[in-house]
Structure 1
């Protein structure tokens, strides 16, 4: 892995994860190893060539992190990140764990918590890299798609219509949902 990291200039090694897929109690696919570096990740599955995902080669990131509660009791945190390279190749980080912010006996160093943190770091780093070109696209008059919504110089567009920026009072993200409040409208 050192040779691959050097070849692709991935920088400092941060962490490693072994991911297994289970249906019932038997593994359904070979183990996948994820190696996290300062400038990207390497995904390696047995009998395949390692795939390199440099942060500066990622075109899109989607994220879902949800704290699950039942009858007011914390049940766990589930997460899913999908990163798509400019050539269309994808990598996913997904899992669940008990967050020590909600559960007293939760392990703050649980592998899935660290895996979620890798997804957060990836999202943050890719966002930093994509922001300048996104701002320039808006200045040119282009619109930018974010899942089911798009933003432009005119406002926020969804399947229900356009809300001009002047009519938007707040935008927030909480527990996996984006909420947009506008004059007389509410989108979630």
Structure 2
């Protein structure tokens, strides 16, 4: 008996699995781009080699998630979800700290100079940085919730499929039981 899986949608427009695949492919490309940037910097300074290797290793997490979506294996999807949660906590902490620093700067309790340009005032610089980190945090939360929904969807499909495979009806008796368990 084939069970028809109800398709899930992201933003009520794009199917959830396609949306998850697009986010994961974008994440893979972003990590490879950052890795290439660190490799280019490593040609000038050897200190950037570990950062390039770390970015290359971080590329494996979205790759495992993508393989998990294709093979419908939730075990391959868990490492990226854990890394996303840790990254959301770190970016959230940095966001809160930049808002605190911005509030302190508005009341002239701290003094700093803009590292970008001398023409940019400290309050403008810290305001832009605060808004940017807040936007990054919101994007991470949205992406994390979409990937979490994709994981839950794959997990439900896998549990349903395993339950259907384990169920074997008796032909003669008309009763239905589960397979005997191994001792």
TM-score band w.r.t. shorter chain: under 0.3
Relative to the length of structure 2, the TM-score reads 0.28
Relative to the length of structure 1, the TM-score reads 0.27
Higher helix content, 1 or 2: 2
> Larger radius of gyration, structure 1 or 2?
2
Higher strand content, 1 or 2: 1
